[in-house]
Amino acid sequence: MNDTLDALDQLILKELTRDARLGWSELAARAGVSAPTVRDRVRRLEDTGLIQGFVAELSPRALGYGLEAIVRFKPFPGKVHILADRIIATDRIVQCDKVTGEDAFVARMLLRDIAELDGLLEPFTAHASTQTAIVKSSPVPMRPPPLIE
Partner DNA sequence: GTTGAAAGACTTTAATT
Partner DNA sequence: AATTAAAGTCTTTCAAC
- In the complex, which residues of this chain contact DNA (CB under 7 A)? 8, 23-26, 33-37, 39-41, 44
Instruction: Work out how close the CB of 115 gets to a second copy at its nearest, in angstroms, rounded to a whole number.
Output: 15
Residue 69: exposure state from Cβ atoms within 10 A (0-12, 13-18, ≥19): buried
Q: Does 8 bind a second copy (CB under 8 A)?
A: no
Q: CA 28 → CA 7, 33, 35, 69, 118, distances in Å?
A: 13, 5, 5, 41, 51
Q: What distance in Å separates the CA atoms of residue 30 and residue 37, rounded to the nearest whole number?
A: 12
Q: Does 140 bind a second copy (CB under 8 A)?
A: yes
Look at residues 28, 33, 6 and name the one whose alpha carbon lies nearest to residue 15. 28
Instruction: Work out how close the CB of 24 gets to DNA at its nearest, in angstroms, rounded to a whole number.
Output: 4
Q: Does 125 bind a second copy (CB under 8 A)?
A: no
Q: What distance in Å separates the CA atoms of residue 107 and residue 132, rounded to the nearest whole number?
A: 10
Residue 87 interacts with, from DNA, a second copy, none (CB under 5-8 Å by kind)? a second copy
Look at residues 132, 137, 65, 123 and name the one whose alpha carbon lies nearest to residue 105. 132
Look at residues 70, 55, 82 and name the one whose alpha carbon lies nearest to residue 106. 70
Q: How many residues bind a second copy (CB under 8 A)?
A: 66
Q: Which is nearer to a second copy, 34 or 48 (CB)?
A: 48
Residue 119 interacts with, from DNA, a second copy, none (CB under 5-8 Å by kind)? none
Binding site for a second copy (CB under 8 A): 1-2, 13, 16-21, 48-65, 68, 70, 84, 87-88, 91-101, 103, 105-107, 110, 112, 133-149
